Homo-oligomer: A and B are copies of this chain.
């Protein structure tokens, strides 16, 4: 095999497939990138058996062939080579010579025969949206999923399509994040749970350009993302997702209209006085025209007043400040609406169209 690439194209392709190379594995072959130039195109593949990525790389095939190369060392070499033509040449033992200007790297390769290609996915049900929108939607919800997998379902996100609306939901037992996206092109109805890791990795390789599209195909067991020259396939999480509709309610006793930045900055300052170990809540006292942020810890106390508009009853309620900060950070609106019922009931931050809904459970606090 003998291939020639520009450094830019090669580095970009390696960066993409690297997202599916497992950090640790007992199967050596999974630590490799498969370079397949047996046909008339050059294809890079990485596959950790849960998530697989394949991308077609622009380059010149001087001699057909394929090889599996250790992903970590290969990506580091490519990154550090000069910005010029890079040639990859393998001999019959899969030893690979990587040359660029006056640099000649010689590294061991493996036969690609043991490599697991991506599964074949039936391209029956699908939706299309902009890569930018998908990336944003993931970033605006993924922080709400559970980190540990005591409950597997909580480590994924619901992707539900109905009536041309894509609903993406993440929850961890203390909060729920929901985004609703209107799809403007073809959209089949589906309901699947996608692993959080898959979404996290794909959000890093999606384009930030709103005009670039991604098509998502769904089967019972897999989800496939197709964009640019890249295909990402992931297993789904099996089982039925939580019934979130019964957790959502539009009744409220108090409605607060507040400037998002002022609220976020204030909570951010309040966290200075909270040690991780203390788990102190911040307390919000909502009265006519004013929301007071208050925290009292072993380090000291903070009081801040924020001007608000209030409809309904006064209320005093405690929160884990992290949950409020996470949600506020991903809301783009300048003004936000907070809906409250009582100090034991969840609070909702949502816009009028419900394009986003953030539900956060309050925590107990001792009133002073």
Interchain CB contact under 8 A, B300 and A104: no
Contacts of A330 in B (CB 8 A): none
Contacts of A272 in B (CB 8 A): 73, 76-77, 80
> How many Å from the CB of A89 to the closest CB on chain B?
14
Interface flag for A253 (CB, 8 Å): no
Contacts of A82 in B (CB 8 A): 265
Contacts of A269 in B (CB 8 A): 77, 80-81, 103, 105
Please, what's the 1-or-0 string for A217-228, where 1 marks a CB less than 8 Å from any CB in chain B? 000000000000
Within the oligomer, what is the number of copies of this chain?
2
Complex CA distance for A269 and B104, rounded to whole angstroms: 10
Complex CA distance for A273 and B80, rounded to whole angstroms: 12
Complex CA distance for A269 and B303, rounded to whole angstroms: 54
Please, what's the 1-or-0 string for A67-85, where 1 marks a CB less than 8 Å from any CB in chain B? 0001001001100111000
> How many Å from the CB of A294 to the closest CB on chain B?
10
Complex CA distance for A70 and B105, rounded to whole angstroms: 54
Complex CA distance for A360 and B223, rounded to whole angstroms: 56
Interchain CB contact under 8 A, B73 and A266: no
Contacts of A80 in B (CB 8 A): 265, 268-269, 272
> How many Å from the CB of A102 to the closest CB on chain B?
5
Interface residues in A244-260 (C-beta closer than 8 Å to B): none
Contact among B106, B108, B303 for A302, CB-based, below 8 A: B106
Contacts of A273 in B (CB 8 A): 73, 105
Complex CA distance for A77 and B265, rounded to whole angstroms: 12
